[in-house]
Amino acid sequence: MAEVIQLNEEILQFKGKDFLQLSDYTPEEILYMLDVAKELKALQKQGKPHPYLAGKVLGMIFEKSSTRTRVSFEVGMLQLGGHAIFLSSKDIQLGRGETISDTAKVLSRYVDAIMIRTFSHASVEELAFNATIPVINGLTDLQHPTQVLADLLTIQEHKGKLAGLKLCYVGDGNNNMAHSLLEGAVKVGMDISIASPSGYLPDGTITEKAIKAGTETGSTVMITNDPVKAIQDADVVVTDVWASMGQEAEAGERLKAFEAYQVNEALCKHAKEDYIFLHCLPAHRGEEVTAEIIDGPHSVVFDEAENRLHAQKAILKLLLN
Ligand code: CP
Ligand code: NVA
């Protein structure tokens, strides 16, 4: 079993914190979360009970669809001895106009933490501001931090390290995955290159902050329109859908804009020979990635999906225990 690094408890205060974006955490805290995730994964694989959250309840608000996030959080709470309640925004009063702040205050009286998947990142911040319990971001239009924590765990498991690797993301640079990968990579000392068409480049503020954070960890950030340049000698190749949830009406226009940004054999020839391929899923084979790549020998997408469970259990344990 992976040893959990003993670090100064004063520096690592997780209890009661929110998990809204990776930039809120220090490199040490992120590495520690990954160690806890590995420890919890080992316990689960050995069939050893680990009810650290016995009697605790997670409320899960979903304003968008989900397979992985919903199931992994629900199973994670169960494995930790607690319980999760699925709250579709269609069914709760939030969907009929009850305010976010009232929802936050009411749920804080019943449950021990809230996970929310929604559109606007500001809504999650408002929820967190008004809640007296930890709030976890289960995806907004801007960020998908629980996914990227699972991605870091997957990369660490397959490559044996994080610092010094090069991660290349090809596709929509202005979406939640690109932003959280930017924040996550620079925290752990990975170089990151993002190739996107003009008009779909990452958010300027997030990029600037990532460049600055990278100067402290030795990470470099490259943003380019050229996928071949971006993928050169990459250890990790990542993509995501070209039209995210909520962008369905733009799907046709995006299909054209991203045509030259498909992750396929020809492009991946420029990556390192032993590169790994990640995709948060759901994927569209034949659009952002070919079946050859996502179903091929370099792909670790199902390990990545499994690691949602272990990474999120670490987040839950640390924020609630
Ligand atoms: N990757 C991810 O968040 O998947 P779901 O949309 O199925 O939760
Ligand atoms: N960028 C995608 C991620 C899905 C998990 C979306 O927001 O739809």
pLDDT per residue as tens, the chain (321 positions): 444 555 554 567 899 999 999 999 999 999 999 999 999 999 999 999 999 999 999 999 999 999 999 999 999 999 999 999 999 999 999 999 999 999 999 999 999 999 999 999 999 999 999 999 999 999 999 999 999 999 999 999 999 999 999 999 999 999 999 999 999 999 999 999 999 999 999 999 999 999 999 999 999 999 999 999 999 999 999 999 999 999 999 999 999 999 999 999 999 999 999 999 999 999 999 999 999 999 999 999 999 999 999 999 999 999 998
Same-domain check for residues 136 and 175:
no
**Residue 184, token pair as written in the block:** 């996550």
Same-domain check for residues 124 and 150:
no
Ligand 2 neighbours, Cβ below 6 Å, are 139, 144, 175-177, 240-241, 244-245, 280
Same-domain check for residues 93 and 236:
no
Q: Ligand 1: distance of its center to the CA of 24 in Å?
A: 22
Q: Is the peptide bond before 282 cis (omega within 30 degrees of 0)?
A: yes
Assign residue 190 the CATH number of its domain. 3.40.50.1370
Cα 165 to Cα 97, 142, 219, 235, 272, distances in angstroms:
46, 25, 9, 6, 11
Out of 18, 262, 280, 310, the active site residue is: 280
Residue 121 is among the residues annotated as catalytic for this protein: no
Residue 280 is among the residues annotated as catalytic for this protein: yes
Same-domain check for residues 167 and 233:
yes
Task: List Cβ neighbours of 162 (8 Å cut-off, separation of 6 or more).
Answer: 152, 155, 156, 188, 189, 190
Query: Would you say the CB of residue 281 lies under 6 angstroms from ligand 1?
Result: yes
Given the CA of residue 280, which atom of ligand 2 is nearest to it? 5
Same-domain check for residues 125 and 187:
no
Same-domain check for residues 39 and 176:
no
Task: State the total domains in the chain.
Answer: 2
SS3 category, 163: coil
Pocket test for ligand 1, best of 88, 116, 280 (most atoms within 8 A of CB): 280
Pocket test for ligand 2, best of 181, 280, 304 (most atoms within 8 A of CB): 280
Looking at residue 12, what is its pLDDT? 79
Same-domain check for residues 168 and 139:
no
Same-domain check for residues 253 and 300:
yes
Same-domain check for residues 118 and 211:
no
Out of 70, 117, 254, 310, the active site residue is: 117
Q: Whose CA is nearest to atom 3 of ligand 1?
A: 69
Looking at residue 11, what is its pLDDT? 60
Pocket test for ligand 1, best of 73, 281, 309 (most atoms within 8 A of CB): 281
Do strands 83-88 and 57-62 pair parallel, antiparallel, or not at all (unpaired)? Answer: parallel
Structural domain including 290 reads 145-304
CA gap 264, 268 in Å, rounded = 6
**Closest listed residue to residue 237, CA positions, set 211, 268, 214:** 268
**Closest listed residue to residue 142, CA positions, set 216, 245, 225, 251:** 245
Query: Would you say the CB of residue 147 lies under 6 angstroms from ligand 1?
Result: yes
Out of 68, 70, 121, 144, the active site residue is: 144
Query: Would you say the CB of residue 67 lies under 6 angstroms from ligand 1?
Result: yes
Q: What angle do CA 79, 84, 86 make, to 5 degrees?
A: 140
**Closest listed residue to residue 58, CA positions, set 102, 101, 143, 116:** 116
Same-domain check for residues 228 and 106:
no
The pTM for the full model equals: 0.96
Residue 117 is among the residues annotated as catalytic for this protein: yes
Same-domain check for residues 289 and 165:
yes
Same-domain check for residues 50 and 157:
no
Q: Ligand 2: distance of its center to the CA of 252 in Å?
A: 17
